[in-house]
């Protein structure tokens, strides 16, 4: 039975009060759906707010053995796309906010990101390795159109010839194609477009404010045509909901010009699991029990597996079947054969107030 508190255009079906942390934050701003009631007479939706965050550093380091990068940048906290499965949702509890609707509507922006990046890249002894963008929240979510923080970061990386990767669910990445194309020509950037489903009815509830799959595929095609190495991330695969589309997505990626693709089974850490179960009950009550049973089989009998390596792959018969189907599709379409690493030898530290003598 449909819940009366479910909001159209939002991913999480509820807003649970966080209990793990107790930190304050607020500052209002609007978004592109907030004026919907003025346009078509619809009921006013939950407003989106943006809090300015002033961190002391912008590069986040990690030593995880199952992640292919050791540093990343996130221009924003929270994400308007509202993907119900997002493993970053629990980070909002650090701010005493809910990983549910708060994660989608109470966002944080870091307008000093480019300045902080410049300072960190200028430190003596800095050794360049690819910086990953979009690993926690999407760098091209709708508020990027106004704040342009991601673009300012890319401008610094272009100036210093620093390698980086972008992962996004948005065709808004094409707005920065003027920067990305010349960087790609020097072997300094690659892009992964995340496509979870090609079925509009599924996408509208699974990731309600992300651009449609056809727009993402068009972005893949445009990036490839401009010479930007681009791949497709089938992330996550939700058994019983989207797993039947794996072969179709691989085929569509190849047709659009993607060089490669990868997949990740759905992960449900901390507060994501109860939110995901509530979402299943709302949108797929006929198969909710089946979906959770398969997920638990992938995760050793639990909703989530936090262990190295298996958290990214799953294990057991369902994981093996998923991998076999994916590998067969990749071989059929000739993907994942061109794996050139990004260059680090071109890096030059940013200039300080005193110009270089050479």
**Using an 8 Å Cβ cutoff, are 58 and 113 in contact?**
yes
Q: What would the pLDDT profile of 274-331 be if each residue is shown by its tens digit?
A: 999 999 999 999 999 999 999 999 999 999 999 999 999 999 999 999 999 999 999 9
**10 Å Cβ neighbour count for 338?**
10
Q: Which residues contact 268 (CB under 8 A, 6 or more apart)?
A: 85, 87, 276, 295, 299, 303, 304
Question: How far apart, in Å, are the Cα atoms of 222 and each of 142, 176, 232, 239, 282?
Answer: 20, 12, 13, 30, 36
- Is 70 exceeded by the pLDDT of residue 34? no
Q: Is 134 exposed, middle or buried (0-12, 13-18, 19+ CB in 10 A)?
A: buried
C-alpha radius of gyration, the chain, whole number: 20
Please give the backbone phi and psi of residue 28, each rounded to the nearest 5 degrees, phi first.
-85, 150
CATH class of 41-333: alpha beta
Q: What would the pLDDT profile of 133-152 be if each residue is shown by its tens digit?
A: 999 999 999 999 999 999 99
List of E strands, the chain: 49-52, 60-61, 71-73, 76-77, 106-109, 131-133, 164-168, 189-194, 230-237, 260-265
State how far the Cα of 273 lies from the Cα of 92, in Å rounded to an integer: 15
Q: Determine the pLDDT at residue 48.
A: 92
Question: What's the rounded mean pLDDT across residues 37-43?
Answer: 49
Q: What would the pLDDT profile of 155-171 be if each residue is shown by its tens digit?
A: 999 999 999 999 999 99
State the average pLDDT for the chain: 91
Please give the backbone phi and psi of residue 250, each rounded to the nearest 5 degrees, phi first.
-60, -45
State how far the Cα of 210 lies from the Cα of 162, in Å rounded to an integer: 28
The half-sphere exposure of 199 on its side-chain side, counting CA atoms within 13 A, is 11
Q: What is the DSSP letter of 274?
A: H
Q: Which residues contact 115 (CB under 8 A, 6 or more apart)?
A: none
- Domain spans of the chain, in order of start: 41-333
Q: Determine the pLDDT at residue 351.
A: 84
- Is 80 exceeded by the pLDDT of residue 42? no
């Amino acid at each position: 039975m449909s819940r009366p508190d479910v909001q159209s255009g939002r991913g999480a079906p509820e807003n649970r009060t966080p209990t793990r942390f107790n930190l304050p934050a607020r500052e209002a701003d609007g978004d592109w759906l907030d004026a919907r009631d003025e346009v078509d007479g619809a009921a006013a939706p939950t407003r989106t707010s943006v809090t300015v965050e002033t961190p002391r550093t912008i590069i986040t380091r990690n030593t995880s053995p199952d992640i292919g990068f050791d540093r990343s940048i996130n221009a924003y906290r929270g994400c308007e796309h509202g993907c119900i499965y997002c493993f970053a949702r629990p980070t909002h509890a650090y701010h005493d906010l809910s990983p549910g609707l708060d994660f989608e509507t109470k966002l944080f922006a870091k307008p000093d990101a480019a300045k902080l990046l410049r300072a960190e890249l200028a430190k003596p002894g800095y050794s360049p390795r690819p910086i990953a963008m979009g690993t926690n929240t999407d760098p091209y979510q709708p508020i990027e159109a106004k704040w342009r923080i991601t673009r300012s970061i890319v401008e610094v990386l272009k100036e210093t010839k620093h390698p980086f990767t972008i992962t996004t669910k948005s065709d808004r990445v094409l707005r920065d194609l003027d920067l990305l194309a010349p960087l790609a020509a020097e072997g300094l950037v690659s892009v992964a477009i995340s496509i979870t489903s090609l079925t509009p009815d599924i996408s509208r509830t699974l990731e309600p404010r992300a651009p449609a799959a056809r727009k993402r595929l068009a972005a893949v095609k445009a990036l490839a045509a401009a010479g930007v190495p681009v791949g497709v991330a089938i992330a996550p695969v939700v058994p019983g909901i989207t797993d039947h589309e794996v072969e179709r997505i691989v085929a569509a990626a190849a047709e659009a010009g993607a060089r490669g693709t990868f997949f990740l089974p759905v992960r449900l850490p901390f507060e994501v699991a109860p939110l995901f179960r509530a979402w299943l009950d709302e949108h797929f009550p006929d198969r909710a029990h089946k979906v959770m049973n398969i997920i638990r089989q992938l995760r050793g009998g639990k909703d989530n597996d936090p262990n190295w390596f298996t958290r990214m792959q799953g294990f057991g018969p369902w994981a093996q079947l998923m991998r076999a189907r994916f590998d067969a599709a990749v071989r059929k379409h000739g993907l994942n054969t061109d794996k050139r690493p990004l260059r680090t030898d071109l890096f030059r530290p940013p200039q300080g107030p005193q110009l270089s003598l050479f």
